[in-house]
Amino acid sequence: MAEYENNCFILHGAVVWSEGLNDLRQLDDGYVICDEGLCAGVYEEIPEAYRDFPVEDHWDGIIIPGLVDLHVHAAQYNNRSLGMDMELIEWLDKLTFPEEARFAQDRDYAVMSYDAFAEDLFIGATTRAVVFATADYLTTLKLMDALEDRGLVTYVGKVNMDRNVPDYYVETTKKSLRHTERWLSRVDGRYENTMPILTPRFTPTCTRELMDGLGELAARYGLPVQSHLNENPREVEWVRELEPDSASYSDTYLRSGLFGGDVPTIMAHCIYNTEEEIALMRDRGVYVAHCPQSNLNIASGIAPVRRFLDEGIHVGLGTDVSGGHSASIFETMKAAIQSSKMYWRYVDSTKKPLTFPEAFYLGTLGGGHFFGRCGTFREGYEFDAVILEDSNLYTMRDLTPAERLERIVYLSDDRNVTGKFVRGEKLY
Ligand code: GUN
Ligand code: FE
């Protein structure tokens, strides 16, 4: 796959990248340097030390860091744009569980579906993703194979659930844990860019016993965790009924060792977090996967992103396919901006709407932080870059690179993505 010797090369063109929440940088004519897979910075002229590196010119292109999707369900890919008149619980029962269950029953269906999902990520602007598969660990491996084949960097989770799921899909506690361990042993040493992440689906479908078992695995194997939290009012009420002894919804994860601290954790949605839960997320370094498109589609609500950012909580963006209808993080940035405006207008006028630079930060550096040094063109960061072309997005105006990028976020699709690099490997 490697096109450049030792992954040493220079990309030349307009460059836009984020250095912080409201710190969008741009160069009209810049050089982004990749030195053995790591970024060596962005320059107006090629520094002496890199004069012999090959230069790839993108005269009409814009070079940006790769996008990061912190929350997406690969096994819901076939359901995109379906069932959007339902709310979460009904949507899970009628649409989502039957589809996910099919992956274990029909392996060909699973392999082809996962392949289509992986291909969609590959041709779009996303370079890194944190992914839910299904409860079936064998086909989860197929998904991991498909993502690894394409050179993307991902965390993938076999879903765990042992209650409140229809008979055709539920696991016993024992089987859920045993299959998770089998899956982990099969994953061990198999991939370069594809990593396992423990995935209790959410508290309504996971007994305390299962959560405790997963907490032990997280500690024993040093694994990260992903789940859902405070997404929908009925779900929140249900958790209160199911777990009356827990201090909060967040506590149902915390008490099993599945909520930050030494265990890197992503919680999707977080719309209805209490003050105590917000403080807990901050103190334990839990990441919020903000999924605004999904929150609109299945009428979950609007997450208080500004509040999270003001608290210093880690926030990234999640497409949450198929709650979200699109696997594009650009689409998600747009939804994040738009829904933050409705929050400001209708819910709390002290919480300023997200700006474009802020949304771009969330979809790159914000989520990228979960992967380590990733999401920007800072020196020493892993080199993920995407080339965008916007000549089909007609305008008579002369625009800055940042303005062109803003139009791309609102108007583009996969056809505007013409080049991609991950960890210094040229994918296309
Ligand atoms: N909560 C539990 N499972 C799911 C899911 O598949 N999608 C969303 N959006 N929320 C969930
Ligand atoms: Fe989700």
Ligand nearest to the CA of 235: 1
Do 189 and 254 sit in the same domain of this protein? yes
Question: Distances in Å between the alpha carbon of 189 and those of 184, 193, 196, 263, 360?
Answer: 10, 11, 11, 21, 34
Kindly give the pairing relationship between strand 425-426 and strand 385-389: unpaired
Question: Which residue among 371, 395, 410 closes a domain?
Answer: 371
Tell me, what's the pLDDT at 148? 98
- d(C-alpha 364, C-alpha 422), whole Å: 13
Do 88 and 55 sit in the same domain of this protein? no
CATH code, domain carrying 298: 3.20.20.140
Atom 8, ligand 1: which residue's CA is nearest?
323
For the chain, the distance separating the N- and C-terminal CA atoms, rounded to the nearest angstrom, is: 9
Pocket of ligand 1 (CB under 6 A): 73, 88, 92, 96, 201-202, 228, 231, 294, 320, 323
Per-residue pLDDT tens over the stretch 83-116: 999 999 999 999 999 999 999 999 999 999 999 9
- State the pTM of this model: 0.98
Question: Distances in Å between the alpha carbon of 257 and those of 264, 283, 284, 292?
Answer: 11, 14, 11, 27
Flag whether pLDDT at 275 surpasses 60.
Answer: yes
Mean pLDDT, range 58-81, rounded to an integer: 98
Count CB atoms within 10 A of the CB of residue 312.
Answer: 9
Gap from CA of 267 to ligand 2 centroid (Å): 9
In which band, very low, low, confident or very high, does the pLDDT at 72 lie, cut at 50, 70 and 90? very high
Question: Which residue among 334, 353, 371 closes a domain?
Answer: 371
Residue 320 Cα: closest atom of ligand 1:
9
Computed over every residue of the chain, the mean pLDDT equals 98
**Ligand 1 pocket, mutate which of 78, 80, 201 (most atoms under 8 A from CB):** 201
Find how far residue 160's CA is from the centre of its chain: 19
DSSP letter, residue 77: G
- The token pair at 211 is 């959560």
Q: Which residues contact 106 (CB under 8 A, 6 or more apart)?
A: none
Do 254 and 280 sit in the same domain of this protein? yes
Gap from CA of 156 to ligand 2 centroid (Å): 13
Tell me, what's the pLDDT at 321? 98
Gap from CA of 236 to ligand 1 centroid (Å): 13
Assign 61 to helix, strand or coil. Answer: strand
- d(C-alpha 118, C-alpha 187), whole Å: 18
Chain position carrying tokens 């370094």: 285
Atom 3, ligand 1: which residue's CA is nearest?
201
Tell me, what's the pLDDT at 3? 87
Flag whether pLDDT at 1 surpasses 60.
Answer: no
Gap from CA of 275 to ligand 1 centroid (Å): 23
Q: Which residues contact 209 (CB under 8 A, 6 or more apart)?
A: 162, 173
153 close to 191: Cβ distance less than 8 angstroms: no
Do 33 and 101 sit in the same domain of this protein? no
Atom 7, ligand 1: which residue's CA is nearest?
323
Per-residue pLDDT tens over the stretch 281-295: 999 999 999 999 999
Do 120 and 165 sit in the same domain of this protein? yes
Do 151 and 300 sit in the same domain of this protein? yes
Do 286 and 194 sit in the same domain of this protein? yes
**Ligand 1 pocket, mutate which of 202, 235, 325 (most atoms under 8 A from CB):** 202
Tell me, what's the pLDDT at 253? 99
- d(C-alpha 318, C-alpha 227), whole Å: 12
Do 190 and 326 sit in the same domain of this protein? yes
Name the H helices within 243-304: 249-254, 275-284, 292-297
Tell me, what's the pLDDT at 371? 98
Gap from CA of 159 to ligand 2 centroid (Å): 11
Gap from CA of 320 to ligand 2 centroid (Å): 5
**Ligand 1 pocket, mutate which of 97, 242, 320 (most atoms under 8 A from CB):** 320
**Ligand 1 pocket, mutate which of 77, 84, 92 (most atoms under 8 A from CB):** 92
Do 86 and 105 sit in the same domain of this protein? yes
Residue range of the domain that includes 406: 5-64+378-426
Q: Which of 391, 216, 228, 401 is nearest to 298 (CA)?
A: 228
CATH code, domain carrying 58: 2.30.40.10
Per-residue pLDDT tens over the stretch 117-172: 999 999 999 999 999 999 999 999 999 999 999 999 999 999 999 999 999 999 99
Gap from CA of 96 to ligand 2 centroid (Å): 11
Flag whether pLDDT at 178 surpasses 60.
Answer: yes
Ligand nearest to the CA of 232: 1
Count CB atoms within 10 A of the CB of residue 421.
Answer: 28
Flag whether pLDDT at 251 surpasses 70.
Answer: yes
- Number of structural domains in the chain: 2
Assign 265 to helix, strand or coil. Answer: strand
Tell me, what's the pLDDT at 349? 98
Mean pLDDT, range 174-180, rounded to an integer: 98
Question: Distances in Å between the alpha carbon of 146 and those of 52, 121, 185, 228, 374?
Answer: 35, 11, 18, 25, 22
Per-residue pLDDT tens over the stretch 205-244: 999 999 999 999 999 999 999 999 999 999 999 999 999 9
Do 46 and 186 sit in the same domain of this protein? no
Within 13 Å, how many C-alpha atoms sit on residue 274's CB side? Answer: 8
Do 228 and 326 sit in the same domain of this protein? yes
Gap from CA of 228 to ligand 1 centroid (Å): 7
Do 197 and 161 sit in the same domain of this protein? yes
φ/ψ (deg, to 5) at 271: -75, -40
Kindly give the pairing relationship between strand 265-269 and strand 225-229: parallel
Q: Which residues contact 201 (CB under 8 A, 6 or more apart)?
A: 132, 159, 160, 161, 227, 228
97 close to 169: Cβ distance less than 8 angstroms: yes
φ/ψ (deg, to 5) at 225: -135, 145
